[in-house]
Chain A
Amino acid sequence: MKIVVCIKQVPGTNEVKIDPETNTIIRENVPAIINPFDTYAIEEAVRIREEIGGEVIAITMGIPGAKDMLKEAISLRIDKGILLTDRKFAGADTLATSYTLSKGIEKAGEFDLIICGKQATDGDTAQVGPSLARNLGIAYATDISKIIEIKKDSIKCLKITDDGYEEIEIKLPALITVVKEINMPKLPSIKSMKVAEKSEIEVLTFHSSGADESRTGLKGSPTQVRKTFVPVHEVKNEMIEGTAEEKATKLSEILIKLKGVD
């Protein structure tokens, strides 16, 4: 089975700071990491390969430095990394990103399954996976928490929904996005890191990807960020004084007022 995993480089911090002038994420002094959700995608692909054989390819669109992240993915035991990098890809929204990724995947040849993380921790859109499936004209399912069975031409999985789980079966080739409940990613070993160090990353540019210029980068991105801001968390403290009884009475009054508790 040939599996493609889509991964993204994100800032390795929970506190993303945004430049108020340019409305872009400040990346200085913040180490880049593999989007945490994508590590579950990598692990699941590797587990499938270990069980039934095949090949796992990771693909990303990003700056030339994203090569290091693909090498890290190889240390997590994928077989090959592909980097889509070109100035013409810069400034892409989710539509342009998924289009560009689809061109890269087409270049990589036939595949059976694409696995993406549920969403990236910097943008939180969860749009690239489904949009990529549409570009490739294949079926997809999001929020997969377990793969129950893989057959030659179909896959049976569990999908987390607001109300519980759905068991679904999709025809291959297909795309799934996975949640963190699906597995426990393994750490690299000294051996797998040595393999990664010696590996070569395949680079696709705008020309070699065969993409349509009007659909990549800023040109291909209808989404425009007008304004971004960090929400202010306001915490108010109020000390209640008095005897235990007085305090309890006062506290219950406040709670009733706040939440409408009876």
Chain B
Amino acid sequence: MPNNFAQMYGEYLRDESRQVGNAESIVFPKTEEEIISSVKEMSRKNIQITTQGARTGLAASAVPFGGHIINLSRMNKVTAAKYDKENDRFFLKVQPGLLLTELRKFLVNKSFVTSDWDEDSIEALNYMGINRWFFATDPTETSASMGGIAACNASGAKSFRYGSARDHITGLRIVLADGDLLTIKRGQYIAKGKEFIMKTESGRIIKGQLPNYQMPNVKKNTSGYYNKEGMDMLDLFIGSDGTLGIISEIEIELSKVQAACWGITIFMPSEDKAIDLVRALRKEIIVDSIDLNLQPSAIEFFSHKALEMLRNQQKTNPAFSNIQEIKESYHTAVYIEIEKDSDEEIWSEVKKLGAVINSLGGNEDETWVANNPTNLEKLHEFRHACPECVNMQIDNIKKIDKTITKLGTDMSVPDNKLKEIINIYNEDIEKNNLQAVIFGHIGDNHLHVNIIPRNIEEYEKGKELFLKWAENVSHMGGAVSAEHGVGKLKAPFLEKMYNEEEIKEMRKLKKIFDPAQLLNRGTIFAYEEGEI
């Protein structure tokens, strides 16, 4: 009874992409066995399955379009811990429904629910010692689930230093489309050239060949399957958007928290000069022979229009009154976060940064420095204010026309194309007289362009521009999705990045693991019936 289903389980038909789908049934497994039994039943009946975590994704991966939903939110435990004494490395095994916020809470308090743990795991906790540990992937949305983070290879601001989720995942357990189980540890299955071979729990051998397409040469990429000759096969499943199997357990490696963490917002007199500063921070250019060794964890950008929007909101909206006054003279902002072993170590680099800012035509006095947790929180509020501000404006427009949704890009380009792509964005926005702000992870050349349409015509115009930009970015050797995943929403963008043959190769790869294409159908690429 689809109608009843929508009434009772309506919230499970959508995610943060604001797309709404439909389904006929849903289960909330608490164990891996329950996932397996549900998958076996659906496989027998040939019913498609959509997997869900916390439904915070922005690309509609978790939105079902018919069939059955397996919602993993009740598998939310940390199940084991491991300490590698020799190399001082710490690992945790977590269930896919565990929220990042919960994991962070456990780690800050060094306190876990250990009633189901084995002795070795409990023993391992003793080795956390005086060190503070954290999971280095920091997506803005902290209510994301660990399964979702693995499935879309999430990253976040600090990926400039720490990379994406891929770099911190050391093992997965995956329920395949027929209910068989695959356990993969990092280093266990390495492709020989393009040939790969794996063995399931039941002893079945999975053999196959990797596609021929080349991945873009960018730091951040979640556009389609990871593919490289001689790759670790674990990487195929990370970022595969739930299309190859259902993740039932994730082993993550933790990183050590450094004693000192500072944030600095730097206001530059133009977007061009802001980009020069970013290049100096990345050590692509040396300014006045100053040897700058800040090694920031994050480098973020706020366009001129983004600052203007925040400044206007600040005057009228009490929600943003906690943010320090953005002076009229502040044109463009770059935000960096630095972690080192001591405040002194950071300060000696920040002094050099001041000189670099001055040399680039900025002013070291036009900076906000946060060198303690309270002030750092203020700069985080400033950073989060940008997307919040956009969302508030979209919500207002939605009251007039509810078909209008947020238009936000998630594309990245190679280092040497950064200025070029920002120029294209700005020219197109101006030419079409659109209201738009640009902000995000400029360190990785990964900026979010957010268009705020004032009417349906502007919305349609914006959508057209997104396709054009996907084409521009693809020509530059960039990625159409850098951190949100392709999901269902960006499948048309992927077609700008890869040709028909290459998309076919991806579909072929999926069919090795999921011959009937039951899992997350329509995600990454469109569903096509029949054999290829």
Size of A's binding interface in residues, CB under 8 A: 13
Chain A residues with Cβ under 8 A from B101's Cβ? none
A-B residue pair count with CB separations less than 8 angstroms = 48
Q: Is the CB of A187 within 8 A of B354?
A: no
Q: Are B369 and A194 in contact (CB under 8 A)?
A: no
Complex interface residues of chain A between 1 and 41 (CB less than 8 A to chain B): 12, 31, 33
A184 touches B369 (CB 8 A): no
Task: Assess the A189–B322 pair: CB atoms within 8 A.
Answer: no
A261 at the B interface (CB under 8 A): no
Residues of A contacting B375 in the complex (Cβ-Cβ under 8 angstroms): 187
Report yes or no: A189 in contact with B372, Cβ–Cβ below 8 A: no
B354/A186 in contact, CB under 8 A: no
Q: Which of A12, A191, A192: most chain B Cβ within 10 A? A: A191
- Residues of B in contact (CB 8 Å), total 24
Separation in Å of the B372 CB from the closest CB of chain A? 7
Whole-angstrom distance from the CB of A71 to the nearest CB of chain B?
12
| B272 → A minimal CB distance (Å) | 21
Residues of B near A193 (CB, < 8 A) are 347, 350, 369
A12-B372, A33-B372 known; A190 and B322 CB under 8 Å? Answer: no
Q: Is the CB of A190 within 8 A of B351?
A: yes
Given the complex of chains A and B, what is the CA–CA distance between A33 and B370 in angstroms?
Answer: 13
Contacts of B363 in A (CB 8 A): 191
Once A184-B321, A184-B325 are accepted as A-B contacts, the answer to whether A190 and B369 lie under 8 Å apart by CB is yes
- CA gap between A190 and B354 in the complex, in Å: 6
Q: Quick check: A189 and B369 within 8 Å, CB to CB?
A: yes
Interface residues of B in 345-377 (CB under 8 A from A): 347, 350-351, 353-354, 357, 363-370, 372, 374-375
Q: Are A189 and B367 in contact (CB under 8 A)?
A: yes
Alpha-carbon separation in the docked complex, A120 to B144 (Å): 39
Contacts of A187 in B (CB 8 A): 324, 368-370, 375, 378-379
Nearest chain B CB to A69 CB, angstrom units: 12
Per-position binary interface string of chain A over residues 168-212, scored 1 when its CB falls under 8 Å from any chain B CB and 0 otherwise: 000000000000000010111111111000000000000000000
Q: Which A residue's beta carbon lies closest to that of B323? A: A184
Expressed in whole angstroms, the Cα–Cα distance for A190 and B366 within the complex equals 8
- A184-B321, A184-B322, A184-B325 given as contacts; is B368 within 8 A of A191 (CB)? no
How far, in Å, is A140 (CB) from chain B's closest CB? 29
Residues in A neighbouring B357, C-beta threshold 8 A = 190
* Residues in B neighbouring A188, C-beta threshold 8 A: 369
A92 to B325, CA, bound (A): 39
**Whole-angstrom CA separation of A191 from B267 in the bound complex:** 13
**Smallest CB separation, B324 vs chain A (Å):** 6
Residue B128 CB within 8 A of the other chain: no
Task: Report if B264 contacts A (CB, 8 A).
Answer: yes
Contact B372–A190 (Cβ < 8 Å): no
Residues of B within 8 A of A (CB): 264, 321-322, 324-325, 347, 350-351, 353-354, 357, 363-370, 372, 374-375, 378-379
Query: Which A-B residue pairs are the 9 nearest by beta carbons?
Result: A190-B354, A191-B365, A190-B364, A187-B368, A191-B364, A189-B367, A189-B365, A190-B367, A188-B369
